[in-house]
Amino acid sequence: MASDRLLVQIASYNTNLQADRGLPQDLVDWLAPTLQVSRFLSHEPRAPDIVAVGFQELLPLHLGLSGLSGKVLEARNALILSQIEKYAPNKEKYTLIAKVVNVGVALLVYGLDDGVARKVTDVSTQWTGCGPAYMGNKGGVGVRFRVPAADGGVGEIYTFVCAHLTAHSRNVEQRVRDWHHITRTLLFPPLPGAVSPEPTTMYDTSHLFFFGDLNFRIVLPPEHPISQSSTTSADIAHVLEQETVREDLKEYDQLLLERDRHGRAFIGLREGEFWRFKCSYKYKLGEVDKYDLKRHPSWTDRIMYTTYTDSPERPLKSNIVNALYTSIPSYVSSDHKPIVSVLLLPPSLPQPALPSPPPTPLHSDPGDGGSSPSSALTPPTLRLPAHFRPRPDAYAALKRYSGRTLDRLVGYCWWLFVFLGAGSSALGIGNFVVGLGMWSWWRSRPSVALAV
């Protein structure tokens, strides 16, 4: 029965550094499609059990690098929470499970009050940067939590990762490196019942959701009709109305090529039929359906997933039902369109109950060991191909915090230039140079001796 399976909504949007201007006040176009699609999953309208909302380029870069994302994120949280409750079919209430932000990459995850939010435990958040010198202008953020089983079992682990990878079509190799860096440095605590105290990667989970502005592009041969210099924005928009054209374009999609043909990235992750909606990038600002021809239209914004019952022998098939995967054209403040997906998870497999710890003797010898962590059951985890075994980076913490230190140094200097330029960093640098020159001249001018 679909009603026995969790319904997860994933939403992602690159807001083009717009801060509080990046979203309209009414989010119904973006968040309400889940509520409509859920009707065919059950006889009654059904609200999602989990809602995950990711942002990239959340606010101007100098503010993000300076660590000033908190106010914008709180405003996002208040707006999203009010909207998903406003449009919930049965006036359901939600609780924020966790939120995390690094520079401009942010993730907020909500749970249904009468369900997941009441059960959730072991909540953790994480971040990592993969920009120059591990700065956070590019990178990923993650939220992980456990939902215990109703019958007393350890339950299942849910991991959500929102990412923003290196831009431009020529940088596909760097994007692959970004993905591997996130895989090895976005680290979470050990799983319940694990013997090893080492941190775990995003793949050490029962369900994994990986999404964001991944920046993989459509690279067309020169002879392709869309590549012709005479093609106008209106022509491209019209051509992309045809699903057969879009399905052909996916053969030139860098992400699919790297995952399916070369096997170098997004290993084990599945995705819905993204070509069923028009390319989410690059649009002219303020326009619903006009592409900016400085870039080939591409599906840079993606939502991928996998679950522990998925088989590595069937890498393109998932036991997660992708009930909806689309973009929302009506948002015009960014050169990206927001995307949303509705995922129906498979039913949980039966699990034995956790054993009770043995009583501790009044006079125990530390050498006896007592109850061992291995006596507890661990949650089910993803089944991966034999050749792919992601391992934590031993220098992950050093890389993350050295990148954050550089973030702050660059951010504070940049913020100072913007302040001096009354909102323009270029003017601020000019004012700074002029001021520095005047100060140097003042210091170097000859002193005038006072006549006696």
Query: Is 111 a member of any domain?
Result: yes
415 and 340 in a common domain: no
Strand ranges (DSSP E) for 220-363?
270-271, 301-307, 321-327, 339-344
End-to-end CA distance of the chain: 103
Helix intervals (H) in 374-446: 396-420, 425-444
Q: What is the pLDDT of residue 363?
A: 43
Report pLDDT digits (tens) over 43-76.
667 889 999 999 999 999 999 999 999 999 999 9
| Residue 369 confidence (pLDDT) | 39
Structure tokens at 211: 């999404």
Distance CA 81, CA 187 (A): 28
Is residue 401 assigned to a domain? no
The answer on 255 and 232 residing in a single domain is: yes
Whether residue 341 is found in the same domain as residue 412: no
User: Domain tally for the chain?
Assistant: 2
Q: According to the model, what pLDDT value does residue 40 have?
A: 54
- Give the torsion through C-alpha atoms of 253, 254, 259, 265, to 10 deg: -150
Q: Does the residue 399 lie in any domain?
A: no
Distance CA 187, CA 397 (A): 9
Q: Give, in order, the Cα–Cα distances in Å from 126 to each of 10, 55, 449.
A: 18, 15, 64
Q: Quickly list H helices, 186-319.
A: 233-239, 243-249, 254-256
One domain for residues 185 and 284: yes
The whole domain housing 428 covers 407-442
SS3 per-residue string spanning 9-20: EEEEEECCCCHH
Task: Count Cβ atoms within 10 A of the Cβ of residue 355 and give its class: 0-12 exposed, 13-18 middle, 19 or more buried.
Answer: exposed
Q: What's the CA gap between 402 and 424, in Å, rounded?
A: 28
* Same domain as 137, residue 28: yes
Peptide bond into 399 cis (omega under 30): no
Give the integer Cα–Cα distance in Å for 100 and 141: 7
Query: pLDDT tens, 95-131?
Result: 999 999 999 999 999 999 999 999 999 999 999 999 9
Same domain, 236 and 383: yes
pLDDT (0 to 100) of residue 79: 93
Q: Do 145 and 264 sit in the same domain of this protein? A: yes
Residue type, 180: H
Retrieve residue 316's tokens: 């393109």
Q: Are residues 202 and 340 in the same domain?
A: yes
pLDDT of residue 231: 62
Asked whether residue 366 is assigned to any structural domain, the reply reads: no
Distance, in Å, from the CA atom of 97 to the CA atom of 109, rounded to the nearest integer, reads 6
CATH of the domain at 126: 3.60.10.10
Helix count and strand count (H, E) for the chain: 11, 12
Query: Do 435 and 341 fall into the same domain?
Result: no
The Cα–Cα gap between 441 and 228 comes to: 56
CA–CA–CA angle 7, 13, 17 (5° rounding): 155
- 324, 340 contact by CB (below 8 A): yes
User: Is residue 42 a part of any domain in this protein?
Assistant: yes
Domain co-membership, 68 together with 109: yes
Q: Is 432 found in the same domain as 293?
A: no
Does some domain include residue 252?
yes
Does the residue 203 lie in any domain?
Answer: yes
User: Has this prediction a pTM greater than 0.75?
Assistant: yes
Residues of the chain with pLDDT under 50: 1, 360-376, 450-452
